[in-house]
A = this chain, B = another copy of it.
């Protein structure tokens, strides 16, 4: 609320006791703040601060005004709350179809962040592959889909896309973990743990290795990304995953390294909904948050 900034300033001066200190909190110069205060006092019709040699103190008029400011803020917050209520942001249910990669870190984090602000919004998260996810949108079983390299996208309206390179996942003790960069052909010399063939990462890897004239021969093929990570963690070979499914901080015993872009270019993670559909408020707002989170992660 830009037009209420002066109130913040008054409170800052009040609580810090001097214009100079308050100026730091407010991120403006003392002179600017000083003139804002003076300007306000002129409009208001009376001084609200006593000028002491050591700083500023509210005078009785200022005390009265401060009370008004607080009352006013509180009432504005109430209005905001009521507006939020009637726009439906506060309550609601969001149904999400997503790739497995989103399950361990990304979605739990985003959902709990969202629910910290709107505790009355509930969620359904269904794991779906790239084809099923779109089907879920069409049948209205999901509001949002968050999938890696979706299959046809006829009914899929993209809200946001973010590029995801393919990461090799291995034990920190693995010979390749010490290398600067990682080529696909190096990986092929070791035991591979691959997701099943319906997954986007697998498709990308198959294409890339075909270009090398090689064939992928996994020691373990699974439809559980958890399995991939854990098997790799035991030092048993190399797994693959996209960044959004990994959390470097959480696993110091593991190494996550991007495969050289010229070998495997990676793919796109798409957030979208059913084409032409107007989303419920809660779903739309959550989608906005997810877009922000994906952008930040993409830049980091």
Mark A residues whose CB is within 8 Å of B: 1-6, 39-40, 43-46, 60-61, 64-65, 67-68, 71-72, 75-76, 78-80, 82-83, 86-87
* A61, B45: Cβ atoms closer than 8 Å: no
Residues of B within 8 Å of A80, CB to CB, are 44-45
Residues of B within 8 Å of A87, CB to CB, are 46, 61
* A64, B45: Cβ atoms closer than 8 Å: no
* B61, A83: Cβ atoms closer than 8 Å: yes
Knowing that A3-B43, A68-B79, A72-B76 touch, tell me 20 more A-B residue pairs with CB under 8 angstroms.
Answer: A1-B43, A1-B44, A3-B3, A3-B4, A3-B5, A3-B6, A3-B40, A44-B80, A45-B83, A46-B83, A60-B86, A61-B87, A64-B82, A64-B83, A64-B86, A65-B79, A67-B79, A68-B75, A72-B72, A72-B75
Residues of B within 8 Å of A43, CB to CB, are 1-3
A208 CB → nearest B CB, Å: 44
Residues of B within 8 Å of A6, CB to CB, are 3
* A71, B61: Cβ atoms closer than 8 Å: no
A89 CB → nearest B CB, Å: 9
The distance in angstroms between the C-alpha atoms of A246 and B80, with both chains bound, is 49
Which 9 residue pairs spanning A and B have beta carbons closest together? A61-B83, A68-B79, A64-B79, A3-B3, A72-B72, A64-B82, A3-B6, A60-B86, A68-B75
Residues of B within 8 Å of A65, CB to CB, are 79, 83
The distance in angstroms between the C-alpha atoms of A78 and B61, with both chains bound, is 12
A90 CB → nearest B CB, Å: 13
Chain B residue at minimal CB-CB distance from A2: B43
The distance in angstroms between the C-alpha atoms of A65 and B78, with both chains bound, is 10
* A86, B68: Cβ atoms closer than 8 Å: no
The distance in angstroms between the C-alpha atoms of A65 and B43, with both chains bound, is 24
The distance in angstroms between the C-alpha atoms of A170 and B2, with both chains bound, is 63
Residues of B within 8 Å of A40, CB to CB, are 3
Chain B residue at minimal CB-CB distance from A67: B79
Identify which of B5, B44, B75 contacts A71 (C-beta below 8 A): B75
The distance in angstroms between the C-alpha atoms of A174 and B35, with both chains bound, is 60
Residues of B within 8 Å of A76, CB to CB, are 68, 72
A29 CB → nearest B CB, Å: 19
A282 CB → nearest B CB, Å: 15
A-B contact pairs, 11 of them (CB 8 A): A1-B43, A3-B3, A3-B4, A3-B5, A61-B86, A64-B86, A67-B79, A68-B76, A68-B78, A71-B75, A72-B72
